[in-house]
Structure 1
Amino acid sequence: EMLRSSVLRVAGTAAPRRWGSSITRLHTDDERMSGCVIHGDTVYLSGQVPADFSRPIREQVSSTLAKVDALLESAGTDKSKILSAQLWLKDMGDFAEMNDVWCQWVDPENKPARACVQAPMAKSDILFEAMIVAAK
């Protein structure tokens, strides 16, 4: 029988939870999910939404991407190492404005693979959500 060891290090909301030696979970204070999971040299972010749902699309995108920056930093990486981005818009009518903000934010020398689709959101006032996979 294999023995699995787990180590929990407590350091605020970014406390990593390690399962074995190859998976680290950060930002585990949400009962449903980890904000960030690291496996080997790959970083997976859960879907990120803006801090303030009442703001217009440009501000929701900027706020969400700032959260992405912070999560990537907590995992020891940055936006220049993003491999793939999945983006959801509540309304494709916001596509051009979202792209304007995205293009100002994304590393122009290291653009990730990307998809953007329209989708109903978990809350009616969320206009944008992003899920990111990055290298360390």
Structure 2
Amino acid sequence: MIHRQGTTKRYSDSTCYNGVVYLVEVPAVEEGNIQVQTQSLLGNLENALAAAGTDKSRLLQVQIFLTDMADYDGFNTVWDAWVPEGTAPSRACIEAKGLARKGWKVELVVSAALA
């Protein structure tokens, strides 16, 4: 059975199916540098994972969209401190010239195993 949380006409905050939760996260703010936005985004992601019944140690795959690859190292500084040792997921980093909000510098597409 598919379980959705926070469903609107356009999207769901999370979708769970067959022991996996799928999420997309963006920063809560459009201001600030990549590190500020990444901290905001990862805080939102932790809350969304908890609401779905899992946590950041169970990440399976993450797709990172940056509006500027010059922000890669800044993103990784925050990411590396956030991911628990030994639990890093498979990931890809893609440059995307435009995200849904003009001020956003980063967006994540995430899948994680449910507990």
Q: TM-score, normalised by structure 1?
A: 0.80
The two structures, once aligned, show a CA RMSD in angstroms of 0.9
Unaligned runs of 5+ in 1: 1-21
Picking from 52, 57, 62, the partner of 1:85 is 62
Percent identity of the aligned residues?
A: 37
Aligned twin of 2:47? 70
- Deviation of 1:132 after TM superposition, in Å, equals 0.6
Secondary structure in structure 1 of the residue aligned to 2:32: coil
Q: For 1:24 and 1:31, how far apart are their aligned partners in 2?
A: 15
Which structure has more relative contact order (CA 8 Å, sep 6+)? It is 2
Unaligned runs of 5+ in 2: none
Pair member with larger Rg: 1
Alignment of 1:1-136 (within 5 A): 22-28=1-7, 30-45=8-23, 47-119=24-96, 120-136=98-114
Runs of 4+ in 1 over 4 A off after TM superposition: none
Structure number having the greater helix percentage: 2
- Deviation of 1:38 after TM superposition, in Å, equals 0.5
